[in-house]
Structure 1
Amino acid sequence: KRLWRGSFSRRSLSSEGGSSHLKTKRLRTWRCNVKIWPCGNPNPIKVQEVVDFEKLDDYAAVFQGHDVGYCCLGTTKAKAGADGFIRVDHDYVLKSAELAKAGGCSHFNLESSKGADKTSGFLYLKVKGQVEADIEPLGFERFSVYRPAVLMVDRQESRPTEWFFRKVLGPISSMFPTAMSIPIQSVTRAMVANTLIPAGDKVEILENKAIYDLGKAPEK
């Protein structure tokens, strides 16, 4: 199978002069890691592509010929402002899904968020829910949505609110691992493991506990 994974370079987002925008000198980059397993060759070939999010149509070829896609694009309102957040978490994600579908991708995996709801009064959850709803009609053979709670991960970039919750939720997570948070490693393992499980429903939504159970580290 041919698989691709996309991640957004959040460093390309900035806020200057009281208004948030995307810097033009730092390209909106899509790092697409493509692992290809040629017939009879157990060693994958890894290819990395870099594209400009503002001109994704010019890079349609990057999205062609893959069976499975993983989309984990995202930023925050604090980093990008309201318009920038919508642009990244909705517009870029939806466009990536459209190109993946046109390129032959049959199984699209989307990392969303716990509480995602297009009718929510909270912008973050509303945008997450809206992009889920907009991708579904594209008609992937299988569409898997992952809704993790607060991600327990040490980032290079500064996210004070997330850092605070990690410190507060850390002790709670050790006693109640699926209550309000989840290790990023668990999400990664769950997404890969779920890909290898035969499809059930055409559209599946995995909430935090299901992600945690599926992403448990193998016992040594």
Structure 2
Amino acid sequence: MAEAAPGKEEEFRSTNQTAFVVGHTGGTGSALVEELVNRNIFQRVVLIGRRKLDKYEGETYNMLDQKIVDFEQLEDSADEFKGHSVGFACLGTTRAKVGKEGFKRVDHDYMMKVAELAKAGGCRHFSIVSSTGADKNSSLLYNRVKGEVEAECADLGFQRLSIFRPGLLLAEREERRVSEGFFRKLLAPIIYFKPTLLSVPVETVAKAMVNTVLEPCQEPVEIIDNKSIHRLAQGKNSGK
């Protein structure tokens, strides 16, 4: 898949901006970190999470700075969110893994605390990974929580808010999710013949997120659906 034009990357790189990533231990977040390292458009990228990952040690990853935080006391780590022009939030879990209340705490409460600290810290462009079907008025818990986060992030008034709504995320996980495996088998023919319709590899989402940073802002809040994610990853306009 194509990347943005080299001229745009060089121009952005010359501004010496920094970014932070929350949720870098997950599939999408991990792919995003690799994309950021490979593209090298930021002077420094801070990874904010519960634990330090040894795989990011070494010269290849010398642009990364890992910060350990307690999400239950995230305000104590407010300084880690200061001074970054761009923030990426890929945080998320599942109800099956942590239960209803645990899901809401991670996908809503933690996400909103990250957003609030990012805004207070001066972040101008905030990008979040949401989901197809996100709707704050939905009767489905997952869709409702994702929709609430989208709406509440918009209310914070970022200079630019990019909301990514991927379909079924395709990734090789160390921890298999039963529901994802079921849907991947069920949708296998559609994924094969119409790869941009209902699913997207996490690497494609990562490319789209980085390419979006390099494009001019059209609207303060932009919702990027699954088809547009595929287009952006190819360096094309997100128009459907």
CA deviations 1:96-142 (Å, max 9, x no partner) are: 00001111100000000001000001000000000111111111100
Quick check: 2:169–2:202 contact (8 Å CA) kept in 1? yes
Q: Which runs of 4+ in 1 moved over 3 A?
A: none
- The structure whose residues are more often helix, as a share, is 2
The total of aligned residue pairs comes to 191
CA–CA distance in structure 1, aligned partners of residues 201 and 139 of structure 2: 27
Deviation at 1:171, TM superposition (A): 3.3
Q: Secondary structure at the match of 1:58?
A: helix
Q: How does 1:68-107 map to 2 (within 5 A)?
A: 68-107=86-125
Q: Judging changes above 3 Å, is the alpha-carbon distance between structure 1 residues 91 and 30 closer, same or farther for their aligned structure 2 residues?
A: farther
Q: Judging changes above 3 Å, is the alpha-carbon distance between structure 1 residues 105 and 44 closer, same or farther for their aligned structure 2 residues?
A: farther
Q: Which runs of 5+ in 2 are unaligned?
A: 1-16, 27-48, 54-60
Q: How does 1:27-42 map to 2 (within 5 A)?
A: 29=50
What is the TM-score normalised by the length of structure 2? 0.75
1:182 corresponds, among 187, 196, 200, to 200
Which residue of 1 is the match for residue 147 of structure 2?
129
Task: Say whether 1:4 aligns with 2:25.
Answer: no
Q: Secondary structure at the match of 1:88?
A: helix
Q: Secondary structure at the match of 2:101?
A: helix
CA–CA distance in structure 1, aligned partners of residues 179 and 74 of structure 2: 31
- The structure whose residues are more often strand, as a share, is 1
Which residue of 2 is the match for residue 22 of structure 1?
none
Q: Which runs of 5+ in 1 are unaligned?
A: 11-27, 33-42
Q: Judging changes above 3 Å, is the alpha-carbon distance between structure 1 residues 113 and 48 closer, same or farther for their aligned structure 2 residues?
A: same
What is the TM-score normalised by the length of structure 1? 0.82
Deviation at 1:64, TM superposition (A): 0.5
How large is the RMSD of aligned CA atoms in angstroms?
2.1
